[in-house]
Structure 1
């Protein structure tokens, strides 16, 4: 392996992958075929995840999620014509697979197995059980929304909140598009209907990513603010969303994960909308959240009725994976909202991004 790549690997896998971005198509091909390099990169990733999750090293954890975010940014981006011959996938999937295994392993270790096995076996009963599970979790009615934002939220609080929400909202439509692959019947139609709503039902002015961008602009959350205030906990949530949404084998977990997302959005967004208007902020900025109060209530109902219930009714074993996904979403949502609430209360003013 060339000495310069040895040095880059010594600096860590994030530095190595960043260096790969400047490679030519030929260099990508040579490195893909260089199994000494690929083995070194894999070993560096395993060392990093061991520090992050085995050694509780927060700096290493930040690097894990910066690296995953870099890979997912490529997964969700278009390609430049000059780079159509750049075959990045073998190397980047090597890296992502190791990091994702560690990330998901950690999240699954937090879940009590009894919680995800004692569920009803019929679809409708399972849905009721799953909703009870969500509502009983601390993230189901988190004080960040239902106390702090609702009772004493400021424009600065809303700006900080929306900056963190960039972890999912700007790419949720693409995740829904990905989740439709391989699905059929009413299940696929429900996800497709959800996707079409995200697309503004064909009106480019009402595409939800556009409306979310308007919200960011209205509250003053520009690129610099988002970069400087973005929390590690928000990054974890965003990376899990991408991981579960893109991988075919994690589809059932994604059903639970995004079912919780849709189910909780209306009650959370109501707090945001009411405070936004009480503060007299520009109305155009709250269109996104206002629309989702009603839309996501319908999405959640349809998701449970037409996706969750038929899946469990068809094969009760799927219920475990759906519940795992739901609890991953609830646990990481609690992590991120707990930290965000601390910051809003002035307990932790330094952004993780700045620390890393």
Structure 2
């Protein structure tokens, strides 16, 4: 591989990054020390990011997010003993830093500065202000859940929705584990309590990632279906979740981002649970969502009271970053729910009949 590294980027950065998987430890060391190669890799990443976000090239956007997904898959995957000497992180972080800057720059450019400034400076008042911000956003009560799924959702609608939800749900416990690093006191304890709930409070049969896997099995959303039906918009949301959850400097944005996630889950999951039961699907498959209606309501309350409010009380400047994270979550959630609703309506018999 190192002998051919001048040609490694011929097919683009995604191909080059994938090729790192087959490099030996020695080849990776040579690539890491080759700053001319790393410069070319960085340039290739900047070029594709510019096409994606500067020129609205959807093919380039998909490649940007495949690259980021590859990096995050490495971050969330346990290491095999045969891989312990293979150091890919310097190269992967080069890639991620450039693409994350483009991704976050785009998302931040969508937010009106007046939306995230002028907020209350006391914690309890800020929490009320933030909840109002969430409820006023189109994603707060999205018609995909509260009209389509609730009133006319089908088994295939639920299957398609759950395939998109793999962008976060299987990783949420690890994100919470990461967010605890460097935090102290009640703030850390709240995140830890949330994490322990995700761990089934010590009962391996109730670990939430396992429950979610059972839901996918029950609805027939296997790996092939998820791969074939997974939308770019869902992937973008998942990459943002990973980016904010793993990076220390984005911690305050992550507080807002995942606070919104917890706050909206109960109202959304209620629609899923009611439709699941109305369709007579296997009861064991809905345990995950049924459990989260109550659990996430408690998580949201605790998150706002013990994480958000104390942070703003401690330094009111943090309020802007929390609000930015909340808006990023709301905007990208709306993006993929809008696209998902369009797909559901396009294939629904009611929509076809209406068009005829």
TM-score bracket for this pair, using the shorter chain length: over 0.9
Rounded Cα–Cα distance in structure 1 between residues aligned with 2:256 and 2:93: 24
**Deviation per residue, 1:129-164 (Å, 9 max, x gap):** 000000000000000000000000000000000000
Tell me the residue number matched to 1:66.
66
Deviation, structure 1 residue 347: 6.5
Larger deviation: 338-347 or 267-276?
338-347
Is residue 119 of structure 1 aligned with residue 119 of structure 2?
A: yes
Is residue 227 of structure 1 aligned with residue 227 of structure 2?
A: yes
Other structure's SS at 2:56 match:
coil
Deviation, structure 1 residue 7: 2.5
Tell me the residue number matched to 1:354.
none
In the TM superposition, 1:259-298 aligns within 5 A as: 259-298=259-298
Tell me the residue number matched to 2:353.
none
Tell me the residue number matched to 1:158.
158
Tell me the residue number matched to 1:55.
55
Tell me the residue number matched to 1:107.
107
Deviation, structure 1 residue 346: 1.4
Rounded Cα–Cα distance in structure 2 between residues aligned with 1:215 and 1:336: 21
Tell me the residue number matched to 1:17.
17
In the TM superposition, 1:35-184 aligns within 5 A as: 35-184=35-184
Rounded Cα–Cα distance in structure 1 between residues aligned with 2:347 and 2:335: 15
Rounded Cα–Cα distance in structure 2 between residues aligned with 1:287 and 1:55: 44
Tell me the residue number matched to 1:185.
185
Rounded Cα–Cα distance in structure 2 between residues aligned with 1:347 and 1:75: 37
TM-score, normalised relative to structure 2: 0.97
Other structure's SS at 1:140 match:
coil
Query: Is this contact kept in 1: 2:142–2:337, CA < 8 A?
Result: yes
Rounded Cα–Cα distance in structure 2 between residues aligned with 1:6 and 1:59: 25
Rounded Cα–Cα distance in structure 2 between residues aligned with 1:342 and 1:11: 33
Rounded Cα–Cα distance in structure 2 between residues aligned with 1:235 and 1:69: 8
Rounded Cα–Cα distance in structure 2 between residues aligned with 1:17 and 1:28: 11
Q: Runs of at least 4 residues of structure 1 off by over 2 A? A: 1-8
Is residue 253 of structure 1 aligned with residue 247 of structure 2?
A: no
Rounded Cα–Cα distance in structure 1 between residues aligned with 2:289 and 2:36: 50
Other structure's SS at 1:267 match:
helix
Rounded Cα–Cα distance in structure 2 between residues aligned with 1:330 and 1:80: 37
**Deviation per residue, 1:260-297 (Å, 9 max, x gap):** 00000000000000000000000010000000000000
**Deviation per residue, 1:89-139 (Å, 9 max, x gap):** 110000000000000000000000111111000000000000000000000
Query: Is this contact kept in 1: 2:2–2:27, CA < 8 A?
Result: no
Larger deviation: 2-11 or 187-196?
2-11
Tell me the residue number matched to 1:242.
242
Rounded Cα–Cα distance in structure 2 between residues aligned with 1:252 and 1:239: 17
**Deviation per residue, 1:212-252 (Å, 9 max, x gap):** 00000000000000000000000000000000000000000
Tell me the residue number matched to 1:302.
302
Deviation, structure 1 residue 5: 2.4
Query: Is this contact kept in 2: 1:5–1:16, CA < 8 A?
Result: no
Unaligned runs of 5+ in 1: 349-356
Rounded Cα–Cα distance in structure 1 between residues aligned with 2:104 and 2:38: 22
Query: Is this contact kept in 1: 2:265–2:293, CA < 8 A?
Result: yes
Tell me the residue number matched to 2:324.
324
Unaligned runs of 5+ in 2: 349-356
Rounded Cα–Cα distance in structure 1 between residues aligned with 2:346 and 2:12: 33
Rounded Cα–Cα distance in structure 2 between residues aligned with 1:10 and 1:120: 52
Other structure's SS at 1:78 match:
coil
Query: Is this contact kept in 2: 1:108–1:324, CA < 8 A?
Result: yes
TM-score, normalised relative to structure 1: 0.97
Rounded Cα–Cα distance in structure 2 between residues aligned with 1:307 and 1:343: 37
